[in-house]
Structure 1
Amino acid sequence: MAEAENTAPNTGGDSSRRDFLIYGTGAVAAVGAALAVWPFIDSMNPAADTLALASTEVDISAVEVGQAITITWRGKPVFIRHRTEENIEEARAVDVAELRDPQTDEERVLKPEWLVMIGICTHLGCIPLGQKEGEPKGEFGGWFCPCHGSNYDTSGRIRRGPAPLNLVIPPYEFLEDTMIKIG
């Protein structure tokens, strides 16, 4: 007599086990692929030394009224000037409608006596003079770019010359009365 074929219905035990193995294998493969790709994705993050430059704290307690200091932030010079009452009055007396890049002095400073700005001319990227004692400050008592003659006032606003914009104000805040965080 010939062997009888197994005609018993499939209860799904093999099928559900097969599905489990397929899904389990797929999950392990996905995790493995993610782990293999992660070092490449992580390498696109900024280096630790770059992140350290993202912000800087500056102690301004030693800066006398009328003095200015220059610090470096993100590879750029940042001018910090402790303005005199005369500087503040000159900056506030300007008719904003006459400016090429209209900004009031109040829009450019957090505290009137402290001006913080990036010291790069907005024309061709030169560093304006006027930060050190004895340097020419231009016609408006602020900064003067000798390369092409841009003149900035005591608030860092362009007043004469080819520069199209005011000197840039970086993001900053006062942590204390004598401590500024830039960035």
Structure 2
Amino acid sequence: MADTVHDDVNRRDFLMIATGAAAGVGAVLTAWPFVHQMNPDQAVLALATTQVDLAPIAEGQAVTIKWRGNPVLIRHRTKPEIDLAKGVAMADLKDPVSRNANAKDGSEATDENRVVGGKEQFLIMMGVCTHLGCVPDGANPLREFAVVEGSEKTGGWFCPCHGSQYDTAGRIRKGPAPENLAVPPYKYLSDTKIQIG
């Protein structure tokens, strides 16, 4: 009789473990479609990187492209705009950190740390104000940062929502925005072509 009791205990333990394992597998198989649907679809993955040809962007011209659903500002800066950005003292900056995904964390917000060396004429940055997420406007030059180039004034970006003002390197100079405009991760594929992301 002792053997029968022992056999019943082993059989009961086996049935409990097998039932628990089957329930666990069933739960995973049931949950998988719900978890999988949260993964980004192919259209989103295709937007993870984007390539831009900079050759058609004339000196002094700015274009806005979309990357990951956000605007990216690309400006072909003029020499006076570059000189103006390089001439800013670090003590005059509201945010001293470069906010550049391509630079070392915590690097200073010098103009050199906001662009790629040797290609400083192209400024590439996110077009999202760091205050409340509005899109700054660079079409109307700012008087505060303006320099005269011929008869045309050039300047930085202005966020019309709450008055944040960014200079010709995209650094916050006035207004409620707490940080410089972020520079996205990008690299040059050739002299005139970049890949963002």
Pick the TM interval, shorter chain: 0.7 to 0.9
Q: Tell me if 1:95 matches 2:101.
A: no
SS of corresponding position for 2:157: strand
SS of corresponding position for 2:45: helix
1:125 is displaced (CA, Å) by: 2.1
TM-score by length of 2: 0.72
Residues 72-101 of structure 1, C-alpha deviations (whole Å, 9 max, x = no match): 112211100111222111111110122110
Residues 16-56 of structure 1, C-alpha deviations (whole Å, 9 max, x = no match): xxx99999998777666544443233222112222222221
Q: 1:108 & 1:30 partners in 2: Cα distance?
A: 52
Q: 1:33 & 1:128 partners in 2: Cα distance?
A: 49
Q: Tell me if 1:105 matches 2:99.
A: no
Match of 1:119 in 2: 127
Match of 2:166 in 1: 152
| Corresponding residue to 2:194 among 174, 180, 183 | 180
Match of 1:137 in 2: 141
Q: 2:35 & 2:181 partners in 1: Cα distance?
A: 36
**Stretches of structure 1 lacking an aligned partner (at least 5 in a row):** 1-9, 11-18
**Stretches of structure 2 lacking an aligned partner (at least 5 in a row):** 4-12, 97-108, 146-154
Q: Tell me if 1:77 matches 2:71.
A: yes
TM-score by length of 1: 0.76
Q: Which has the higher contact order (CA 8 A, sep 6+)?
A: 2
User: Using a 3 Å threshold, how does the CA distance of structure 1 residues 41 and 81 change in structure 2: closer, same or farther?
Assistant: same
Match of 1:13 in 2: none
RMSD: 2.6
Q: 1:104 & 1:88 partners in 2: Cα distance?
A: 11
Q: Tell me if 1:47 matches 2:51.
A: no
| Corresponding residue to 1:163 among 155, 177, 184 | 177
Q: 2:123 & 2:85 partners in 1: Cα distance?
A: 11
Residues 149-172 of structure 1, C-alpha deviations (whole Å, 9 max, x = no match): 222111001111222111111111
Larger radius of gyration: 1
User: Using a 3 Å threshold, how does the CA distance of structure 1 residues 29 and 127 change in structure 2: closer, same or farther?
Assistant: closer
Number of equivalenced pairs: 172
SS of corresponding position for 1:173: strand
User: Using a 3 Å threshold, how does the CA distance of structure 1 residues 89 and 38 change in structure 2: closer, same or farther?
Assistant: same
